[in-house]
Amino acid sequence: MINMNKKIFDNEKGSAMILVALGMAVLLGLVSLVTDTGLIFVSQAKLVNAVDAAALAGAQELPGRPDLAVTVAENYAVTNGVNAHDLDIEVMNENKAIRVQAERNVNLLFAKILGINTGFVEHEATAQVGPIAATEGVVPLGIQEQELNFGEQYTLKVGAGESDTGWFGALALGGPGASTYEENLTYGYPEVISIGDILDVQTGNISNPTKRAIDFRLLACNHTPYCTVDHFQRDCARLVKIPIIEKINARDVKVVGFGVLLLDDVTGQGNDSYVKGRFVQTILPGEISGEAENFGVLGVKLIE
């Protein structure tokens, strides 16, 4: 009887050891799966961020400098950990889009026990440039729709002796009043304005608020060399984003596009209160549209 019980005990002990061994194998497999899946997930996320950012960075040189767009995209991807040999970059769509594709092998840890040494991740992103259709940060000055020559000087606001309608080129963004106008001219209107929006004009010459705001912007440009139409910093305070407008009546205008001018100066007061600047071409944040007319301000977005 004792021998029989011993046999039963030994059999149970042996079965338990087998079950423990099987459980350890299952647990090890789960640890392997969770750990290596995490490695692949993190690597994929980093690759997505690097490729998306590279496409957006490169697109900012389009359409005018496609070769530089490829260089910028490659440098940006490499800086963010992508091997240059694993990159494929292509400018397409008549130099209005750039595609960045990258892949990466991931060295696995526990999966090597099962004979799996590496995993594989890849990502592709395409960024496109197009005319701005909606944006924030515009200043309360507008210019009527016309053929614009980049680098040429234009007058944004005229003096008191230049208008017989009471409108001198200023807009009432966010409501009328000299203080609101000055705030928006100094820092830009914080709300989004879109093509097709109807805007109120700001009556009165308001030359003192104009001069204070423009002087602030001119003094804020401390770049070396000093910004010019051929070489400027995109964050320069002298760059003003303006709506291109179509006059509807004496009190309302319609937004038909957006442009950017590099401020030259602001002169005098009263009859001599003028604001002048030169049109430039640049890339700025904003919603883009393939149907909007191009007045030199382009935006960038990921389309894939």
Question: CA angle at residue 218 from 217 to 224, to 5 degrees?
Answer: 115
Name the average pLDDT for the chain: 83
pLDDT over threshold 50, residue 69: yes
Amino acid identity at 23: G
**In sequence order, what are the beta bridge partners of 199?**
253
Rounded to whole angstroms, how far apart are CA atoms 269 and 238? 20
Of the pLDDT bands very low, low, confident and very high (cuts 50, 70, 90), residue 70 is: very high
Rounded to whole angstroms, how far apart are CA atoms 136 and 123? 31
pLDDT over threshold 90, residue 16: no
The pLDDT value recorded for residue 134 is 93
Measured between alpha carbons, how far is residue 289 from residues 175, 191, 254 in Å?
28, 19, 17
Least confidently predicted of 12-16, 170-174, 194-198: 12-16
The pLDDT value recorded for residue 6 is 46
Of the pLDDT bands very low, low, confident and very high (cuts 50, 70, 90), residue 172 is: very high
Rounded to whole angstroms, how far apart are CA atoms 184 and 191? 10
Strand-strand pairing, 287-288 and 198-203: unpaired
Rounded to whole angstroms, how far apart are CA atoms 98 and 169? 38
Q: What percent of the chain has pLDDT over 70?
A: 79
- Domains of the chain, by residue range, sit at 15-129, 138-302
Rounded to whole angstroms, how far apart are CA atoms 182 and 190? 13
The pLDDT value recorded for residue 35 is 60
Q: How many CA atoms lie within 13 A of 54 on its CB side?
A: 32
Q: Is 242 strand, coil or helix?
A: strand
The pLDDT value recorded for residue 32 is 56
pTM: 0.74
DSSP string, 28-46: HHHHHHHHHHHHHHHHHHH
Tokens of 71: 């260089």
- Each residue's pLDDT tens digit, 101-127: 999 887 666 555 656 666 788 999 999
- Select the highest-mean-pLDDT range: 164-168, 175-179, 186-190, 288-292: 186-190
The pLDDT value recorded for residue 285 is 78
Provide the b/e sequence for 37-48 (b: ≥16 CB within 10 Å).
eebbeebbebbb
pLDDT over threshold 80, residue 181: yes
Percent of the chain as helix, strand, coil, to the nearest 5: 35, 30, 30
Question: CA angle at residue 194 from 295 to 203, to 5 degrees?
Answer: 90
pLDDT over threshold 70, residue 23: no
- Each residue's pLDDT tens digit, 197-246: 999 998 888 888 999 999 999 999 989 889 999 999 988 999 999 999 99
Measured in whole angstroms, how far is the alpha carbon of residue 261 from the centre of its chain?
20
